[in-house]
Amino acid sequence: MNYAKAFRVELGGRVELSKIDADYKGDHEDKSSAQRELEEYSRRLGDLQYLMYAENKRSLLIVLQAMDAGGKDGTIRHVLAAMNPQGCEVHGFKAPSVEELAQDYLWRIHKAAPRKGHVTVFNRSHYEDVLAVRVHSLVPKEVWSERYDEINAFEKELGNNGTHIIKFYLHIDKDEQLARFKERIDDPTTQWKISESDYAEREYWDEYQRAYEDAISKCNTNTAPWYIIPANHKWFRNLAISQILVESLESFKMSMPAPTVDIKEIRRKYHKAAEEDTSKIEK
């Protein structure tokens, strides 16, 4: 199944999250039936990221957005596990600092954009300024409503300068979110991630869904497309995202750069002599 075609938001279309099945898992019954594909995509991701790092002509920005417990951290662990940390960065965007509040809202985002040859993952992003800011009325509507066009212009600028942008909304339903909160409470290794505000935010579920629908619908472009990933099943989320990233990276038609030195001369000068010495020792 081609997940890029299945989950990419149609240009000019209107997103309705309530009509998208967060429990969808494609042709697979469970994780075990998808394991071979997961491993293959992981291997290919590693190879393609290495190629992009070596070529050093472009960069990749992966934007992850989701409701609380939607799986952003798990996605990052899965995606980056296949890649060389030397060419990857992760940036999380929580409440802005005093310094960041003194700048325009895109200032801290632009600073974190990937440099050539690198993959950067945003755990939350500039979209918080048309999501949480909107839901909690942190700025007037006449302010946040202008930001859709500003975001589109910002993403176009990044694209014009060689940054490929892929945006994923990890779609879970309200019952799955509550189940994941319970898992965190029951697991001593994840209890630190839970706060009362997580539960308090559930009261705004419908408002967040509407805010996401507007953000995805209004900021979905060829330069920076949105994909809505059914994410109730973590393994399927990883499978779909891995396939989409592999397909996207392969579409760049990358190639290894030419060597900057005379390979024949270096081989003649250093390796031939070493081979001759080894041959004498063996005799």
| Torsion angle, alpha carbons of 22, 23, 25, 28, to 10 | 170
Angle in degrees, CA 51, 121, 162, rounded to 5: 55
- Return d(Cα 222, Cα 159) in angstroms, integer: 10
Per-residue pLDDT tens digits for 101-119: 999 999 999 999 999 999 9
- Are the C-beta atoms of residues 11 and 248 closer than 8 Å to each other? no
The 10 Å CB-count burial string (b at 16+, else e) for 140-162 is eeeebeebbebbbebbeebbeee
Q: What percent of the chain has pLDDT over 70?
A: 96
**Domain layout of the chain by residue ranges:** 3-282
* Per-residue pLDDT, 139: 95
Structure confidence at residue 144 (pLDDT): 97
- Contacts with 80 (C-beta within 8 Å, 6 or more apart), sequence order: 88, 90, 121
pLDDT at 172 over 90: yes
Residue whose entry in the numeric block shows the structure tokens 């009261």:
203
User: In what helix (H) or strand (E) does residue 100 lie, and over which residues does it extend?
Assistant: helix 98-101
Q: What is the spatial distance between Cα 145 and Cα 130, in angstroms, rounded to a whole number?
A: 8
Segment 71-105, tens digit of pLDDT: 999 999 988 888 999 999 999 998 899 999 999 99
Two tokens, residue 18: 């309530």
Q: What percent of the chain has pLDDT over 90?
A: 87
* Predicted TM-score (pTM) of this structure: 0.94
Confidence grade of residue 270 (pLDDT, cut at 50, 70, 90): confident
What local confidence, expressed as pLDDT, does residue 269 receive? 82
Which token pair is 7? 């989950």
3-282 is classed CATH 3.40.190.10 = no
Evaluate if residue 69 carries a pLDDT over 70: yes
pLDDT in tens, 31-61: 999 999 999 999 999 999 999 999 999 999 9
| Res 174 pLDDT > 80 | yes
Distance CA 131, CA 89 (A): 24
